Structures are given as C-alpha cells and as structure tokens.
Structure 1
Amino acid sequence: MGEAENFARLMRELKERAGLSYGALARRLHTSTSTLHRYCNGDALPAEFAVVDRFARACGASPAEAVDLHRAWLLADARRRAGGEPAAAPALETQAVLEPEPEPEPVVVVVVAPEPEPAAAVGSRPGPGPLPRGPWYRRRAVVVAAAGVTAGAVAVALLAAAGPELRAPRTGAGAGAGPTAPSAPGSGPASAPVPTATGAPQPTAPGGGSAPGPVPPAASPPVTATATASAPHAAPVVPLKAAVRTHVWAAGCDHAYLAERGPGSVPPPPVEADAPAWASAQRAVHAGTQIVEVTLHGTGGGAVVLEDMEVRVAARRTPPAWNVYQMSQGCGGGLTPAVFAVNLDAPRPLARPVAGNDAGKALPAPSFPLRVSAAEPVVLRVEAVTTGCDCDWSLDLRWTGPSGSGTLRIDDGGRPLRTSAATGRPVYGYALEQGRWAR
C-alpha cells in the first residue's frame, strides 16, 4: 500500500468511527464536500497539515491516532512532492542539502633525520569521513615513511637549530633546552561551515585566505624536530533533513504580494500550491507578512534536540512603491495555528512563541527545546511581520545530537527570505465577475 492510500485509509477509518457525513465534516474543515471525498478516496492530498489536524479533532481522534495520521500525511506529502522518489528525502519547496564535505583533521608529523639515512616519521593521519566532536573524539596514530608523505597531506616539517643533545626527539614545546619550531603561517583554525536547509555549506577562513600547502624540510645538519600543523576541524554531519515552504497562506487562502507591474499585466491569483511559480514570474515580494513552515526529520538512529531559533536580518531597505495584490477577498477559518512570531522592525528580532486557537479551544504555544528523530518529525511555523522595511532575513536553528552540535540555516533556496512593508500602497483584489484586478 502506498503512502497516499495509507493516509486515505486512516481518514476513512476515523470518519466511519465518528459517524459523521462528508457534508458535516466539510463544514467543520471549511472545505467542500467533493474535496473531502477526494481526500478520503486517496485522489487528492491536503496542501497543509492544518486541514488534517482539524479533521482528526472533528472525528475525536486520540493523541496516538493523531500522531499516526500526521506521520502518514508527512510521508504521503513527501512522496507527492518528490514525484515518486523515496519518502525518506521529502522535498517540499526546497530540499535540504545538509552534509558538508569532510575536511582534514589537525596533523602532527615528526621527522627524524639521522646521519646515515632518513628515519621514520610518526604522525596522525585523517581517517575517512568527517570527525565527530565530543568526548568520544579520538585520533589514531599511524607510522609512515618520511619519503612517503604525499603533497596532499596538511603538514609542515620544520627543523630546529643544531645542538649537542638534539638527537632525541622532542615531543612538546618545553622538551629540552633547544629552540622550538615556529608555527606555520595560516595554521590557525578556520571558522566552521554553516550548513543551510537549501544549499551547500559555505566555509569561511580568517582573512578570506586558504591554508598554505605543505612545506618541504629545509636542508640542514642531521637533527630531530617536531612540527605541528593545524588544519580546520571537520564540521559534524548534520543529522537532520529540512523541507521549507516559504509561501504559506493564512487559512490556505489569505495572503498578499507586492509587484511592480500594473493590474492589467498581472494574471489572476493562483491557488496556494502554485504561489511560488506565480510570485517568481511576477517578481513579487511578500507584502507585510510572510509565513514560513519548516518540516524537520532526523536522519540517524538517535534523537536530535533543537535548542533554539535565532532570527538574522541581513538587510533593511526602504519598501518599494509597488502595488499590493490580495490573493483573496477574505476567507476566514476556525483555526489559528500556534506560531513563532517575528517582528522584523525590531532592532534585534526574536522568534516569540504565540499560542493558537481552534474553534475556541486554545492551542499551546511552541517552545524549545524540541526533540526530533526519524520517527518523530517536527513542524515549525514562523510568521514574520513588518510595517517599515523591505527586509532580507533568515533563521538559524541550533541543534545537538549524537555527532555533536551545530547550526542549520533556514532560508529561501540559498537566498535570504524577503518580506516588505506595504503601508500606504495601492491595494487590488481580483473581481471574478469582471475577470480583472480592481481597487
């Protein structure tokens, strides 16, 4: 049985047990009877989980049944959006690429050069794959010949000045009375890459430069010296996959966009599922409010803890003098989901938990920390508002897991999210009876 069929089966079982008709349920879900019938037959899938949540509540589902229905919807939605790809890697609007390329670990090379012939060098070589951080971090030493050190190894071998007792190897900066080897230029640690939910990691280094290549030993009398070359630590593999929706409408119908084109050049409003393509074609910007929905799945066997979410505003501009196009003349609904509210006009915006409401029943505000695993996905909903700026912004999710800890960037396909104020701009709504935009 496929994911969509399994989801439809769960919906039918809840409906039949509740003894409610399609018409009665459709009124509670603020949808049509035919649409609900297609959901239960597996011919269609709800665009967002809010409809599924209201359905479960209306049918009196237990908490365990609601979780099963939520999981089935996530898998079916991922399968639909991936076009038949395995559901383990859902792709909604943007797919996370979260596994940074491994970087070599710090390497210590000891070069012994006795009189007759070069001696062996003892050092640690990077093993395959990224190195996790934490108390379980270990290095394994291997013995290699000095002549076999390749040009790709990140190491520097330096020779100290000759002395009467320099035939014994030095194992630290304080061993013996001889001079210590100078540190290699550019050997300081570089800043770790920050993975994004929609793009590859972007590592940075101090000064913007790259680490120098290997330096061969200088010619000098036979001595023994120890040199340490520091390489950037490999970032831990991010144990999360994130699917990001940046065009989420309130109640599935209420939203507004800013566009430079006149009303005669703008096509009719789309449905929510087609909003990304419509907005891209019109070069439209979210007007006043933007809702972002992030679905997170664990990728390993253990659980990951989401510790906090930070808001980063990259740029503030004067809002453009464009027209406002309302996607609906008002649709309303009995559900106000709990969200993280963000005021982009604040000097330092924060993601503030806000409780929701479902037909008079309070929905608790979301709060950190949150637990995520492969079997327990988490959906975060963020609603950003501005009345004074054209803002570029993003979100940073701080996580901790078995492989270490890090930060996951949430943005719009590798670009910042963009929301602009629309105060005082001309507002147009689409008149269906006239087939055109009108004020």
Structure 2
Amino acid sequence: MGEAENFARLMRELKERAGLSYGALARRLHTSTSTLHRYCNGDALPAEFAVVDRFARACGGSPAEAVDLHRAWLLADARRRAGGEPAPAPALETQAVLEPEPEPEPEPEPVVVVAPAPEPAAAVGSRPGPGPLPRGPWYRRRAVVVAAAGATAGAVAVALLAVAGPELRAPRTGAGAGAGPTAPSAPGSGPASAPVATATGAPQPTAPGGGSAPGPVPPAASPPVTATATASAPHAAPVVPLKAAVRTHVWAAGCDHAYLAERGPGSVPPPPVEADAPAWASAQRAVHAGTQIVEVTLHGTGGGAVVLEDMEVRVAARRTPPAWNVYQMSQGCGGGLTPAVFAVNLDAPRPLARPVAGNDAGKALPAPSFPLRVSAAEPVVLRVEAVTTGCDCDWSLDLRWTGPSGSGTLRIDDGGRPLRTSAATGRPVYGYALEQGRWAR
C-alpha cells in the first residue's frame, strides 16, 4: 500500500467510526463535499495539514490517532513533492546484512557497503541472500552495516569487524546498545537519556565518571539531539529542526505581576514597564513571586514540518521560600482577554502541563493540545503559567518533537539557566504609590 493510499485509509476509518456523512464533515471543515471525497479515496492530498487536523478533531480522533494521521500525511506529502519518489523510512535498529553480490538499484541516498575480508573456503558455506531492511514510518538511515551471520561464521565476523574499523563498532542507541558515555537525566526523570538540546542551542553538561566500553566517542561539536529511536554513527545524527524564542517575564494583561526581592522598599526603584522587566529584576536580584508566565515561540528551520508531541515539566530543585518583600508591578489592571495556557502546579510531586481554555470578551478560546505541527511558515506560540504556594523552585520544560530527520527533545529554560519561581505567602507586600513617589504597604 502506497503512502497516499494509507493516508486515505486512515481518513476513511475516522469518518466511518464517527458516523458522519461527507456533507456534514464538509460543512464543519468549510470545504466542498467533492474535495473531501477525493481526500478519502486517495485521489487527492491536502496541501496543508491544518485541514487534516480539523478533520481528525471533527471525527473525535484521539491525540494518538492525530499523530498517526499526521505521520501518514507527511509521508504522502514527501512522496508527492518528490514526484513519486519513495519517502525515506527509518531503521529502528542497525541490521547485519551480508551482500556478496549487491544488484544495482536506484536509491534516493547512497548506501555505504563494507566489503568482507578474504576468508578460507573451509570456513564458509552457503551465504545467505540479502535480508529485508527494517522499515518505519519516518525515514531511512544512510548507513547499512554489513556483517557475517550464522553460528558457523563466528570467526569470520571477528575478521570483518577488524577490517571495517570503528564504523561497525559505533554504539547504538537503545536498550540493546553496548555501554558508552551517557548524559545524566534530570531529577525525577527516570533512566538516563541522551543529551538534550536547549532553546539557545547549547547542550546540557554531561556528568563525569561514566564508564564506557571500547568504541568511538562522539565529538564535542556534535548536534545536541536526543535521538531515541535511531542507531547511527555520530556524524549521521539529525540536527534540531526547531528554533525557540523564549520570554520569561510575561505579565498578565501586560501589567499585573509581582517580584520577590531582598532589598527594602527605600532602595528599590519604581516598577518598570513589561519590556524592561528582565533588566529591572536582574538589577534587584528579584525572582518571580507566586506566578511566572513563560511564552515560547517556535518555528521550523528546514523545509519540512515537525510535530510537537508533548511537553514535560522538570523541577530541578525545591527550597524554602526566602523571607523577602513582595513588590507588585501594578495596583490592579485587567482586560477582556484571558489567553489559553498550559497551567503548571509546581507544588505537585510530578508537575504536569495541563491545558486550560481561555476567554476573549466572552468568546471561549479552546485549550491548547498536543500534537502540534510546526514549520518555517507556520510558527506555534506556547504560553505556560506556573504557580507555587510552597516552594522556591528551579524548573524547566522539555518539548518532545518528531520530524522526518528523527526525534529529540528541546529544553526550554532561562538562557541556559533554570527558570525560578518562589512562593510569597505571608510575605510583606508593597505597591508603588505614584502620588507619593515611593513604595508603600
């Protein structure tokens, strides 16, 4: 079954399960019945995934089904753009294949074949033919490792590894890979994982002292990507296809916010405007009091689309809130817009990013939800509102993404440092009195 036929099949299954006619779905999607019929029959493919996303929502599809439909559309779209050229498919595990006489066939990417060393006639029986390469829903790895197979050819396999050099001995990612250098996991994140790319592009440091088996060590300049479902040499690791612009001093309605600072009111300057808040807070060594709003604008860096699958909250440290003063940036403000956000309770044992609907002058704004599609032409803005009433917390966000080049995790923090939000319950609260030109309680 081709990519377009598989995509059309998934659309038909969602439509039949929902029990909706083509006419009813076309009205909901603001498109024609004939166009929708062609999509479901595989005669045409939507030019943008937005139509497919609305289709999945209208049919009541689950987030997992939306991701499957998105992947099928990406493969079909890639094949269409290539003029019928097969879309790349992934290899979840490097497979040992011996090809004594490979037949030439057109391939979209070059295949690296390592020739076996001369072997004694008595040690080799009949050679197995080429086996099928493992396929997956995303992409094809560039390197194919050739090795000896079978219990009777064990000595020949050792000779092949000696001739092929370190390329065949490159460590694989996954539970079955040999021991090698690993990056430490964040507190509470479970088993250790590969390095995480940050929003600023800097990799997280690796703890020293990790043991490793003989094998090549990736160079320090390798792209900081978590490639959890691929096995490849270091030079073939996918690059991060996303860029993030992070605002960590976002005020509610552009005026309502509070900071916690150790200085007394007589030595604290007047409150700034929102745009000058980062410099003001840095000069006062102030931290966010009770609530912190973080706004992340993401866009793709390549020609393809990327799927944001989930967002995880990482709390790196919890301390007793300092006994400092609270400085309110405004005596009260408001507006008709309450944006939809991901709400985070930092006091929870395992904080989650919970979608919350918004309101715009009485009109409901739908709660944000994953998966989300991001490309260079279609940026996505995520708004996260974290609150605490009991801790001085260091925290960050991990965005899990999947794209045609692989998958990974993008770290969202404060320029390479953790975000910091502290509870302010029971602390002295000061507001700025404009008529008096000073802070007052």
Whether the TM-score (by the shorter chain) exceeds 0.5 is yes
Residue 192 of structure 1: how far off its partner (Å): 2.5
Q: Contact between 2:340 and 2:359, CA under 8 Å: does it hold in 1?
A: yes
Q: Contact between 2:96 and 2:146, CA under 8 Å: does it hold in 1?
A: no
Q: Contact between 1:244 and 1:292, CA under 8 Å: does it hold in 2?
A: yes
Cα deviation digits, residues 372-404 of structure 1 (max 9, x gap): 111111100000000000000000111111111
How far apart are the structure 1 equivalents of 2:221 and 2:198?
47
Cα deviation digits, residues 84-110 of structure 1 (max 9, x gap): 999999999999999999999999999
Match in the other structure for 1:380: 382
Gap change, CA 1:323 and 1:402, over 3 Å in 2? same
Match in the other structure for 1:248: 250
Gap change, CA 1:23 and 1:271, over 3 Å in 2? farther
Q: How many equivalent pairs are there?
A: 439
Gap change, CA 1:38 and 1:391, over 3 Å in 2? farther
Gap change, CA 1:345 and 1:376, over 3 Å in 2? same
TM-score, normalised relative to structure 2: 0.56
Q: Contact between 2:198 and 2:412, CA under 8 Å: does it hold in 1?
A: yes
Q: What secondary structure, in the 3-state scheme, does the structure 1 residue paired with 2:161 have?
A: coil
Compare 326-335 and 154-163 and name the one that shifted more.
Answer: 154-163
How far apart are the structure 2 equivalents of 1:256 and 1:204?
35
Q: Contact between 1:187 and 1:230, CA under 8 Å: does it hold in 2?
A: no
Residue 236 of structure 1: how far off its partner (Å): 2.0
How far apart are the structure 1 equivalents of 2:344 and 2:247?
17
TM-score, normalised relative to structure 1: 0.56
Q: Contact between 1:306 and 1:369, CA under 8 Å: does it hold in 2?
A: yes
How far apart are the structure 2 equivalents of 1:328 and 1:77?
50
Gap change, CA 1:175 and 1:399, over 3 Å in 2? closer
Compare 351-360 and 212-221 and name the one that shifted more.
Answer: 212-221
Q: Contact between 1:105 and 1:231, CA under 8 Å: does it hold in 2?
A: no
Compare 336-345 and 49-58 and name the one that shifted more.
Answer: 49-58
Task: Tell which structure's C-alpha radius of gyration is larger.
Answer: 1
Residue 190 of structure 1: how far off its partner (Å): 9.5
How far apart are the structure 2 equivalents of 1:307 and 1:420?
29
How far apart are the structure 2 equivalents of 1:288 and 1:409?
23
Cα deviation digits, residues 57-82 of structure 1 (max 9, x gap): 99999999999999999999999999
Q: Contact between 1:78 and 1:92, CA under 8 Å: does it hold in 2?
A: no
Match in the other structure for 1:395: 397
Q: Contact between 2:171 and 2:215, CA under 8 Å: does it hold in 1?
A: no
Gap change, CA 1:277 and 1:344, over 3 Å in 2? same
Cα deviation digits, residues 277-296 of structure 1 (max 9, x gap): 00000000000000000000
How far apart are the structure 2 equivalents of 1:410 and 1:227?
22
* RMSD over equivalenced CA pairs, Å: 17.1
Compare 427-436 and 151-160 and name the one that shifted more.
Answer: 151-160
How far apart are the structure 1 equivalents of 2:225 and 2:437?
89
Match in the other structure for 1:109: 111
Q: Contact between 2:357 and 2:366, CA under 8 Å: does it hold in 1?
A: yes
How far apart are the structure 1 equivalents of 2:424 and 2:222?
72
Q: Contact between 1:23 and 1:33, CA under 8 Å: does it hold in 2?
A: yes
Residue 4 of structure 1: how far off its partner (Å): 41
Q: Contact between 2:306 and 2:402, CA under 8 Å: does it hold in 1?
A: yes
Q: What secondary structure, in the 3-state scheme, does the structure 2 residue paired with 1:96 have?
A: coil
* 1:215 lines up with 2:217 in the alignment: yes
> Of the candidates 222, 231, 234, which is equivalent to residue 232 of structure 1?
234
Gap change, CA 1:336 and 1:150, over 3 Å in 2? farther
How far apart are the structure 2 equivalents of 1:227 and 1:87?
18
